[in-house]
Amino acid sequence: METSLASRSLGQPGFLSDVRAFYAVLRREWTIFTRYPSWIIALFIWPLIFPMMYILTARALSGPDGSGLAVFITTTGATDYIGYIIVGTTVWMWQNIVLWDVGFSLRNEQMRGTLESNWLSPTWRFSYLLGQTGPQIVSMVMFIGITALEFGLLFGVRLNGSAWMIALMMLAAIPAIYGLGFAFASLVITVKEANAFVFLIRGMVMIFCGITFPVAILPGWMQSFAKWLPQTYLIHGMRTAAFSNAGIKELLPDLIPLLIFGMFWLAVGYFTFLWMERRARKTGAIGQY
Amino acid sequence: MSQFAVEAHQLVKKFPARPGTGDRPSPAGRGDTGEGSESAPSPKKKRWQFWKKESKAIFTAVSGVDIQIQRGEIFGLLGPNGAGKSTTIRMLCTLLEPTSGTAHVNGYDIVKQANDVRRSLGTVLAGERSIYWKLTGRENLEYFAALYHIPTAIAKKRVDELIERMELKDRANELVEKYSTGMRQRVAIAKALLARPPILLLDEPTLGLDPQAARNLRELIAQLKQEGHTILLTTHYMEEADQLSDRIGIIDTGKIIALDTPAGLKRRIDQKEIIRLEVSGWQAYIGEKLLALQEVENLVAHRQAEADLWEVNMQATDSRAVLPKLVESISQNGTRLVNMNIVKPSLEDVFIHLTGKALRD
């Protein structure tokens, strides 16, 4: 029998409690993710399908004897056109998946009906969004690993650079890529339907950031615009890290802007979330679908 | 500490209505529990929509609600769908910010001390999708225990205790998607009880449950009161409100129109008798004819499940005098009186007396 409830509340607020709550969100997401077994199939098929489109186009354009590749090598400085393409397409895919997964995470909760139930607890609300990134990053690392493995086995693509430098580039890109995802997630809650925005953003990355070609071939105004997209630096830096023996010094021209963009997009993501949270309390948007 | 568990003063919630459509927003989120007063949207603000300026209509869902709930009391908020019950609950549990007015829960201001309010509350919102269907019952409770800042070791014991209490032990490790509606509702209530909050907000807790599950849940709510919880219960089932509540606030079109104990509310129409008829071949004009009788008021007719059978309720000041007139007025042109009772007033009759319409309208 329970008595004198006011003095016996079991909640113990504090920093550690918020960390535990964040971990709980992370674990919940991972558990739910693993309970949809179709992700395993997607994880093996998608890394092959998307780049294949560009690789086969490149093969067709290079001519029957592959002589056209010489022009590509001159323009890009890359001897392995397949490796060149898969770095670009993998970055594109990363941003694309983040927009769908993280960007629609709160919206999915809203449609499931669980968002309000989370919102009722005294936990720091940004944890709900932050917690979605953990399993997403793990699955993305697996995606990149499987991409490297599949193209290594099937096409003989070899990464000559340091795995540490590749990891460093990816790490530096996390704030920018996920910051954009956070901002996006908050907007989706408000506007409900945002497929058009996903298509716009990934289209911009596809055209301006040089996923299968060097940015240098773009007209001047497009090159200027590309400089404002963090994915441009990530793709360039990843190619440098993966296919040359570049160290941190060589990667700095890409790392620094990437980190600056990261801080910017994280701040944008956080403040958009705060704005959305405040607006939702006024309009009741959290419970509507 | 405040003497009241929940105290609201002139609580108002207005929403922008969708322009042009006449649609009301659904602040409660679910279509089946959407709230809002019947008051017409009033044009108030202007906003630019591409090239033309369009009026932004405002819809008042809750219109100056005053409530004071004593500690340890079950307070029933009774009203039809769309009366403002869920919007009131959503303001009290901090999901919605009031447009004006103030409210305190466990002594904390719902706007300025929202997190303290959340710590003081266990809330079950209407609908069964407040838990994760791809997690087991136990995983759900462990997850929410962490969100309510319960230390891990204590949480494990508490989760076991609640699983036992909610009779979920045998199926606690199964995915919630395999549970019945009643079991899911029990997990949702266990979730609300996790941190042992002093105040529980239960929004339509028996909605969608089968009669047995609803009865079990009502027993549980009565037990929770015995254990010292203050409970704010919203429902549109009058028997539920009558059976459980110490006091009832009747809400309609966003306003509390009456507030008293169930007995006190019924006393308001004590001098009236309720005549309940079952009529075959009912026609609307007969209703008008009966209402024209001096002794009859507040007549409400509902078609029953059986074809062409209607239940007609009315309040009468002197049933003996009016009965012959009723029989005479009804038994015409193929309309037939099948059954007739004079009953004690229920909360539904109180509601009809106050609003002129039935709860289920």
User: Which of B11, B63, B99 has its CA nearest to residue A281?
Assistant: B99
Report the residue of A10, A18, A288 to disrupt the B interface, i.e. the one with the largest count of B CBs within 10 Å.
Answer: A10
Q: What are the 10-residue block averages of pLDDT along chain A, 289 residues in total? A: 58 89 93 86 86 90 84 83 92 91 88 89 91 88 91 87 90 94 88 81 90 91 94 94 87 96 96 91 76
pLDDT in the model for residue A2: 47
Angle, CA B169 vertex, CA A18 and CA A3 arms, to 5°: 60
pLDDT computed for residue A10 by the predictor: 87
Task: Tell me phi and psi for residue B232, to 5 degrees.
Answer: -105, 120
Cα gap B361→B355, rounded to integer Å = 11
Is A18's CB within 8 Å of B120's CB? no
| Cross-chain CB nearest to A13 (options B25, B119, B129) | B119
Nearest CA in chain B to A127: B147
**Residues in chain B within 8 Å Cβ distance of A4:** 228
Parallel/antiparallel/unpaired status of strands B336-343 and B52-70: unpaired
Report the Cα B20 to chain-centroid distance in Å: 29
Both structure tokens of A74 = 């001159």
Of A17, A21, A288, the CB nearest to B29: A288
For A287, which of B95, B133, B139 is closest by C-beta distance? Answer: B95
| Residue-wise burial string across A10-49, b where 16 or more C-beta atoms lie within 10 A, e elsewhere | bbeeeeebbebbbebbbbbbbbebeeeeeeeeeeeebbbe
Does residue B142 contact residue B135 with C-beta atoms inside 8 Å? no
Mutate to test the interface with A, among B3, B58, B141, B147 (most CBs of A within 10 A): B147
Token digits of residue B236? 């549109």
List Cα–Cα distances, B224 to B80, B156, B191, in angstroms: 25, 21, 14
Q: Given an 8 Å threshold on Cβ–Cβ distance, is A10 in contact with B154?
A: yes
**B338 contacts: CB under 8 Å, gap ≥ 6:** B278, B279, B280, B309
From CA A125, how far away is CA B108, in angstroms rounded?
19
Q: Which residue has 């793709």 as its token pair? A: A235
pLDDT at B125: 86
Extended strands (E) in chain B: 4-16, 42-49, 52-70, 74-78, 100-105, 108-109, 121-124, 199-203, 230-235, 247-252, 255-260, 273-280, 296-303, 309-316, 336-343
- Predicted pLDDT of residue A91: 93
> Which residues, 6 or more positions from A212, have their beta carbon under 8 angstroms from its beta carbon?
A54, A58, A84, A85, A88, A89
Provide, as residue numbers in chain B, all residues whose Cβ is less than 8 Å from the Cβ of A12. Answer: 149-151
Q: Tell me whether residues B27 and A287 touch, CB distance under 8 A.
A: yes
Q: How far apart are CA A192 and CA A186, in angstroms?
A: 10
Which positions in chain B touch A35 (Cβ < 8 Å)? 134, 175
Which chain A residues contact residue B147 at CB under 8 A? Answer: 21, 24-25, 118, 121-123
Partner residue opposite A32 with nearest CB, options B94, B135, B227? B135
- A21/B147 touch (CB, cutoff 8 Å), yes or no: yes
- Mutation pick from A121, A127, A189 vs chain B, by most beta carbons of B within 10 Å, is A121
Contact present, B159 and B223 (Cβ < 8 Å) = no
Q: What is the pLDDT of residue B286?
A: 87
Distance of CA B327 to the CA centre of its chain: 36
- The beta-carbon neighbor of B227 closest among A2, A120, A289 is A2
DSSP string, A75-93: HH--S-HHHHHHHHHHHHH
- The secondary structure of B98-150 as a DSSP string is -SEEEEEETTEETTTTHHHHHHHEEEE-SSSTTS-TTSBHHHHHHHHHHHTT-
For residue B146, which residues of chain A lie inside 8 Å, CB to CB?
20-21, 23-24
Residue A5 to residue B227, Cβ atoms within 8 A: yes
Q: Which residues contact B253 (CB under 8 A, 6 or more apart)?
A: B37, B38, B39, B63, B83, B84
Q: In this structure, which amino acid lies at residue B227?
A: E
The angle at the Cα of A18, spanning A12 to A21, to the nearest 5 degrees, equals 100
Nearest-Cα distance to chain B for A43, in Å, is 21
- Taking CB atoms and an 8 Å limit, are B194 and A10 in contact across chains? yes
* ipTM (interface predicted TM): 0.86
Q: What is the pLDDT of residue B19?
A: 54
User: Closest to B135 (Cβ–Cβ): which among A2, A20, A31?
Assistant: A31
What residues in chain B have per-residue pLDDT under 70? 1, 18-56, 127-128, 307, 359-361
Contact B126/B82 with Cβ under 8 angstroms?
no
Q: Do A281 and B119 touch (CB under 8 A)?
A: no
**Using an 8 Å Cβ cutoff, are B63 and A150 in contact?**
no
CB contact under 8 A, A281 and B143: no
- Cα A38 from Cα A162, distance rounded (Å): 32
Other beta carbons within 10 angstroms of residue B21's beta carbon come to 8
Residue of A115, A120, A289 for testing the chain B interface, max B β-carbons within 10 Å: A120
Are residues A28 and B90, on separate chains, in Cβ contact within 8 Å?
A: no
In Å, how far is A13's CA from the nearest CA of chain B?
Answer: 6
Q: Which residues of B touch A123 (CB under 8 A)?
A: 147-149
pLDDT at B34: 40
pLDDT at B170: 92
CB contact under 8 A, B118 and A120: yes
Strands B273-280 and B309-316 come out as antiparallel
